[in-house]
Each structure stands twice: as structure tokens, then as C-alpha cells.
A = this chain, B = another copy of it.
Amino acid sequence: MFYHKKQLQYFTPPQRPDPVYAMKMQELVGGSFGEMTVMMQYLFQGWNCRGPAKYRDMLLDIGTEEIGHVEMLATMIAHLLDKAPIKAQEDGAKDPVVGAVMGGSNPRDVIMAAMNPQHAIVSGLGAMPADSVGFPWNGRFIVASGNLLADFRSNLHAESQGLMQAVRLYEMTDDPGVKDHLSFMIARDTMHQNQWLAAIEDLKSEGFEETVVPKIAYQYGKKEHSYQFWNNSEGEQSAEGRWAKGQSIDGKGEFEYVANPQPIGPEPNLPQPDPRLHGTMASPAMQQVSEAGANLIDGISQVVKGAGETIKRTITGEQ
């Protein structure tokens, strides 16, 4: 169960509104790696967690913190949208020199043309659950697989991309309020990047495995292909990396570089389709014979089914 405090975890208002920047900042709210993603991902992982209590508790701690991050960003976006231009050329009048020269491209008009139109029409100058091009957040952005190592790696990836996006947005503005606000979020993302690295280490020190399902993968997988690098692209620069030689990271094999990979499988040889689906067969003649046959079988099947139903009625005593 959840509770809310009225104050924000952290907040510095922007020095001045900037509706175009508000549109960009939506990426941190509803983008693939925005705060809605990490919030939902950590909450669902926590709710579905069947592992040790400390992981579940930790997931719900951070998931709950992230709800507050969505709140902080939504508040920032509402401030940035304040006084957003609603109508073309409205301020040309107040700034006659610029207005006179510019016609339809005075500064406010440029801003109005470039902002997310839904910030005015749909949300009335509020944040939306969407990214910087207006595409809505959706549930396929998150994962909670039940396997904590796989999921902590997903969390590490999400925080890595998210941190980098926050840094990019930090570089895109000179507004000291926005910069201060983002510097708190960058700090938290820094913690969270470290947190998932630590959590992966912790799983190992607790005796859980270091790579995902290694014993099973080793048992089920064809061992001769489990540590081969296939060079499917011309040139051999890829032979220079750690992945091409030496012991595999899971310690169970040796990397091998396959410089000229060749197929092991046969040419595909698909069976002919059911004629009732009218797919194209290997020849027109085959198609005609097949379709005739299908009609015949269909007729016989009706007759026999009638017999079957008589038997059924006998058994069940049904009329």
C-alpha cells in the first residue's frame, strides 16, 4: 500500500518558461527509458519477486522513489509550459520591429510551431505520459521475468540509457533552474547505475549464479557452438576483441573465432499447404488436384461425423 507526501523529493523551478524544451523533457517522463519505465519496471519486479526479502524490499524502495521522479518532472514540465504561445503572431504586436520584419516567423510563432501541439490542445499545459515525439508510454517498455539476474541487467541497461539521456538534456539548456533540477536527477541515476552493478555483485556473493541460467544453458545448448564467434561480415577486425579469444567470461569454455562461417543446416523444404487456405503450391496442377481432394474429404468427413453423433446419442441417452 502507498502513501504520498505533498512536498517534492527535489525541485528547482525554471528561470523562464520554454515550451520547446518541455516537449524534449517528455523523453524523461514517457520515453522508453524515462521515469515511467523504471517506476513500473521496479514495481512489477518487486510485486512478482519470489526471491530473498532484501531484493524485494530494495525493488519496492526504488520503485516507490521513481513515482516521485515522474512527479518532479511533471511539475517541471507544467512550469516550462507556463505562458506558452497559444496563437500565431500574438506577440508580434508587442514587439513591432521584430513583428514587422518577420511576418509569420516571430520568435513566439517559431516556438508555438515547434512545441508539442497536444501540450496546448489536450493537456492544457500539463505533462503527458508520452515521449518527446508524442508517442505514448506502453507496457512493452518494461520487463519483470522472475529471474533477478536477468532483470537486474535490464535495470542496469535502463538506467544507463536514462542517465545518458538526462546528461544530453542537461547539455541542451542554459536555464540554471532546469540545470539544478537535472543535477539532482543525474545524481540519482548515478546511484542507480551503481546500485544495479552492486546488486548483480550481491547476487553472486549470495550464491546465486553470475550469468543467466549457465548450468541449464550448458546442459541444453550444443557445446560446440556455445563459445564460437561467427564472422558473418567481411573483414576480420572483429577478431581483435576480447570476445574472439581466451577463456569465456562464464569460465566454461574458450572463445573460438570462425573466420569463414558456413551453414550447417539444409536448404528449407516446406511441406505443401492445406488446399483450403489457397496458398500457392509448387505447381498449378498440384493446386488443382489438391483442392478437388479437399472437397472430397470434406464430404466424407460429414458422413462419418453423422455416424459418430448417432453413437454419441446412444451412449449418453441424449435424443
Contacts and interface: CB of A to CB of B under 8 A. Distances in A.
A178 to B, nearest CB: 12
A212 B73 CA distance: 22
A124 B160 contact: no
Integer count of this chain's copies in the complex: 6
Query: Interface centre among A186, A250, A278, A316, by most B CB within 10 Å?
Result: A278
A206 B248 CA distance: 18
A265 B234 contact: no
Given A147-B278, A305-B99, A121 B168 contact: yes
Interface of A is mostly: helix
A15 interface: no
A58 B241 contact: yes
A237 B54 contact: yes
Contacts of A9: 1, 263-265
Interface in A246-301: 248-250, 253, 255, 261, 263-268, 270-274, 276-285, 287, 291, 298, 300-301
Given A86-B276, A146-B279, A221-B187, A307 B96 contact: yes
A167 B217 contact: yes
Interface string A110-141: 11011011101111111111111111111111
